[in-house]
Amino acid sequence: MNEPIYLRIKVTPKSAKTELTGTLADGTIKIRIAAAPEKGKANKELVKFLSEHYHVPKNTISIISGKSDPLKLIKINAS
């Protein structure tokens, strides 16, 4: 079994479209999210985007910390 992958992500909600925009000097991934940060909509959109980007099922992605913060720690369970 593969080890899980951990990603640091900085999210910018309410953007024109959902897209990966680059990385910060410390390796944090910057992602713009089209959804608003209300009632978990932006987090759901982030999980959907990461699922498509990394070609993994959505249920393998979890937000470890930062559910209500722009800076998030994401865990992807490799199969």
Domain boundaries, the chain: 5-76
pLDDT per residue as tens digits for the range 19-69: 999 999 999 999 999 999 999 999 999 999 999 999 999 999 999 999 999
Q: For residue 19, which phi and psi values (nearest 5 degrees)?
A: -160, 155
In angstroms, the CA 17 to CA 79 distance is 30
Is CATH 3.40.50.2020 correct for 5-76?
Answer: no
Do residues 23 and 30 make contact, with C-beta atoms less than 8 angstroms apart?
yes
Burial class (CB in 10 A: 0-12, 13-18, 19+), 32: middle
Q: For residue 2, which phi and psi values (nearest 5 degrees)?
A: -80, 155
pTM of model > 0.85: yes
Residue 79 clears pLDDT 70, i.e. is over it: no
